[in-house]
Amino acid sequence: MCEKLNLYKRDGVKEMSTNVVTVESVEKTYGKRNENQSKALRGVSLSIKEGEFVGIMGPSGSGKTTLLNVISTLDQATGGSVTIAGTNITSMKGNALSDFRSQKLGFIFQDFNLLENLSIYENIALPLSLQGVPSSEITGKVNEVAKKLGITEILTKYPTAVSGGQKQRTAAARALVHNPAIVLADEPTGALDSKNAKSLLEAMQDLHENHNVSILMVTHDAFSASYCERILFIQDGLLYKELKRQGTRESFYQDILGVLAHMGSAAESK
């Protein structure tokens, strides 16, 4: 069983020995049998270790979003298996799946998904409130994660009164407050300007490097991807290439651009 992640720093030592996510030969087919079927995933296998910051990239229609949806339990694989925090989620359904999703997964979406009638504090606290956590515990957890993400000064405000960058940091805090096994981010910088995007990515990198938070991020943007330590490139429903960061973020950015260019050339030559 995978050890429950801790938001807080573990004596400055990064532990990355346990797989928090294991995907084995996952397939996803849309459409009914004997009709026009579309195969979005064709036997994808991968693993993500505890404390890793991993990116998924690929052209439109490559299967990257489908892969994230399968891992996040928002879609069900046609074949293969997905194990998260020691639990095989492949055949889970109903309340068991909903409970697992709310307790073990954290989500950051491109469009924030904040409730405008709730304060920033209340939005962050929502996962804990839904789990029935006592209000005395909620206060401490919300304040701690808000401090980590630099948004303590806006906790009493409402989403309509804060910037896009602050909204996305709020969404990140909400994703982290219940101490999930992994945070799943779908184009988290897509609605942000370059300054706020950089600020959010630096915050995510800090959570990964200094607080052992596991993050899986889908992005089309090479700059955003350069903050990861490992990139999985998906093309035509298959794992095309894996790229690990060896040097500076800037050099990793250039490496990512090179792979994307090669993928584009390969697609054009078909």
Per the listing, tokens 């260019």 go with: 261
Please state the separation of Cα 129 from the chain's center in Å.
22
Distance between CA atoms of 176 and 108, rounded to whole angstroms? 10
**CATH label of the domain that carries residue 103:** 3.40.50.300
Residue 218 is part of which domain span?
19-268
Q: How many domains does the chain have?
A: 1
In the chain, what percentage of residues exceed pLDDT 70? Answer: 91
Whether 6 is in a domain gets the answer no
Give me the pLDDT at residue 265, please.
73
In a domain, 1, yes or no: no
| pLDDT value of residue 37 | 86
This prediction has a pTM of 0.89
Q: Determine, yes or no, domain membership for 13.
A: no
C-alpha span between 142 and 137 (Å, rounded): 9
Q: Side chain identity at 180, as an amino acid letter?
A: P
Q: Are 171 and 19 in contact (CB under 8 A)?
A: no
Q: Residue 3: is its pLDDT beyond 50?
A: no
pLDDT at 31: 85
Domain membership flag for residue 5: no
In angstroms, the CA 162 to CA 257 distance is 34
pLDDT at 10: 36
CA distances from 131 to 8, 16, 62, 135, 187 (A): 21, 28, 36, 11, 27
pLDDT score of 269: 59
Question: What is the structure's pLDDT at 264?
Answer: 81
Q: What is the pLDDT of residues 106-163, one digit of tens each?
A: 999 988 899 999 999 999 999 999 999 999 999 999 999 999 999 999 999 999 999 9
